[in-house]
Amino acid sequence: MRVIDSHVHFPEDRIIDDGRPRGAAGSGGVGYTSGRPAPGAAAKAPSHPWLEAEKARWEAAWRFPAAAAVGLEEGERLWRAEVDGREHLKAVVFVTAGSNELAGELAARHPGAFYGYAHHDPLLPDAPERLERALAGQGLRGYKLLGPKIDRRLDDPSFYPLWEIASAHNAPVLIHFGIMGGAGGIANHVNINPIVIHDVAKRFPSLPIIVPHFGCGYVFETLQLCWACPNVYVDTSGSNQWMRWMPYEVSLASLFRKYRETIGATRIIFGTDSSWFPRGFADAYLDVQVREMTDNGYSADEVDAVLYRNIAGLLGI
């Protein structure tokens, strides 16, 4: 078995200050490295017993250890040890790393083991220039966006320069749609439904677009989007706990079956959404996903496509 984890966050939000310069906070899928507050940012919600109970339920279900702060160099060393310590884990893709500069540095220092995506605010006046620099000069391979943090529809023509640059570089754009954050997070937004990217996918047919977490609650819309646009992929990352909040029964098994029936195994991409330590690479997510694929009739070749070849092909690995 060989694996590329296509969806990892370098744990910038849990890094202690060790004196090294780095970009503004914003990894872990919570913001942008833009020099200004993230679009759509809101004050931290006050604690509530139900919210705390939901967090505790998730921790108990997966038996993950409590997160600990580490230094920047230590975080880098620990992630390299995760790759080196597992024969099957060939590489990780940092979809956020605190700044485009740091993501590029990590990839440059660990060629073949670390890959990185740009992750900056698309509403910045120089957002296209930043993306061109990231893809052409900083060695980054894609662009990560958070739909519910962007207060302008993603099919707005003002974003076309970004899609043109990504398409010219054959760089995938990974866009989080659906509910965001744990319980108490964002559930309503102009960019919460992945169908908003339909016209973009049609207008830029050579632009690879990845929808993570199986669509994160918008299963029907994501399946329809993938059916209509062959340049749209899904990733499997995270605990996918959103399945519990659906009005009808959804399971990891049914997701693997339905997406395979609709688009085949070649547009399904493995990821874990791993980030912090001492958890590191979430082996539990890999184990349960491999079991569900195997139990639902995926051939060894299809499993290899999901775990390795699909993202390797998109990133030119």
What are the structural domains of the chain? 3-34+53-315 (3.20.20.140)
Q: Nearest Cα to 118, choosing from 132, 126, 108?
A: 132
**How does pLDDT run along the chain (317 residues), one tens digit per residue?**
999 999 999 987 554 443 333 333 233 334 564 333 333 444 455 578 877 888 788 778 888 888 898 889 999 999 999 999 999 999 999 999 999 999 999 999 999 999 999 999 999 999 999 999 999 999 999 999 999 999 999 999 999 999 999 999 999 999 999 988 777 788 899 999 999 999 999 999 999 999 999 999 999 999 999 999 999 999 999 999 999 989 999 999 999 999 999 999 999 999 999 999 999 999 999 999 999 999 999 999 999 999 999 999 999 99
* DSSP-based three-state secondary structure for 51: helix
| Look-up of token digits 């919210």 | 51
pLDDT at residue 148 in the model: 96
Please name the helix (run of DSSP H) or strand (run of DSSP E) that holds residue 58, with its range, or none.
helix 49-62
pTM over 0.75? The answer is yes
- 258-293 per-residue burial string, b: 16 or more CB within 10 A, e: under 16: ebbeebebebbbbbbbbbbbebbbbeebbebbbebb
Residue 130 has φ and ψ, to the nearest 5°, of -60, -40
310 within 8 A of 2, measured Cβ to Cβ:
no
> Can you tell me whether residue 74 is helix, strand or coil?
helix
Separation of alpha carbons 135 and 130, rounded Å: 9
- Helices 160-168 & 127-136, crossing angle to 10 degrees? 10
Q: Please tell me the distance from the alpha carbon of residue 197 to that of residue 219, in angstroms, as a whole number.
A: 15
Q: How far apart are CA 153 and CA 165, in angstroms?
A: 19
155: phi then psi, degrees, rounded to nearest 5: -90, 10
- C-alpha–C-alpha distance, residues 34 and 38, integer Å: 8
Tell me, what's the pLDDT at 53?
Answer: 82
Helix (H) or strand (E) holding 50, with range, is helix 49-62
Q: Where on the phi/psi map is residue 104: left (φ > 0), alpha (ψ -120 to 50), or beta?
A: alpha
